[in-house]
Structure formats: structure tokens, C-alpha cells
Amino acid sequence: MERAVALAQHDKVVFDDLPDRIRIHRPSQFVISAEDSADFLPIHEVERRYMLRVLAAFGGNKRQAARSLGLDRKTLWRKLKRYGVDD
């Protein structure tokens, strides 16, 4: 906000004064939808699947995956071990 105020062209901050990353923001494409409550997964399964997707996106590189997830590499390793995911 301080940046927007400093760079504002008018007396008030308007939409065009905001940085591109805010103006172009798109809502998450993660949609939760289920016809039956039995279709919902336990949170630990959601976490496991997401970690595996991130890990695959980084070609199995745990250091990069952990950084992307905001985790310490050891924490990621422990979670993967808990979920029965081996190297």
C-alpha cells in the first residue's frame, strides 16, 4: 500500500495504481466440489497428494520441493516417510 500511495497519480489510490501482480490476480483454481460427503478426503491425504505433485513438478528434487512448500527439507522428508512414500 505504501508503494501504491507513493506512486499514485491522483489524490486517492485507484485500481491502476496497484502493481500488476495484484491487478492481474486470479483466484485459485483449486475447487472443492463433492456431491456426497464421502467424496471428501482426509486432510492428511490431501497433504500427501499435494506434496507428491509438488515433488514431481521439481523432478523429485526434495530441496526445491520443500522450498516451494515452505518447509524445511527434513520436515518434508519426515512427512513423506510418515505417509509411506519412499525414494
The domain locations on the chain are 1-31, 41-87
63 pLDDT tier (thresholds 50, 70, 90): very high
- Cα(80)–Cα(47) distance, integer angstroms: 10
In terms of CATH architecture, what is 41-87? Orthogonal Bundle (1.10)
* pLDDT attached to residue 52: 93
In whole angstroms, what is the distance from residue 19 CA to residue 27 CA? Answer: 16
Amino acid 23: pLDDT: 74
> What confidence category does residue 76 fall into, taking pLDDT thresholds of 50, 70 and 90?
very high
Q: Is the pLDDT of residue 3 over 90?
A: no
pTM: 0.57
- Round to whole Å and give the CA distance between 68 and 13: 33
H helices, E strands: number in the chain:
5, 0
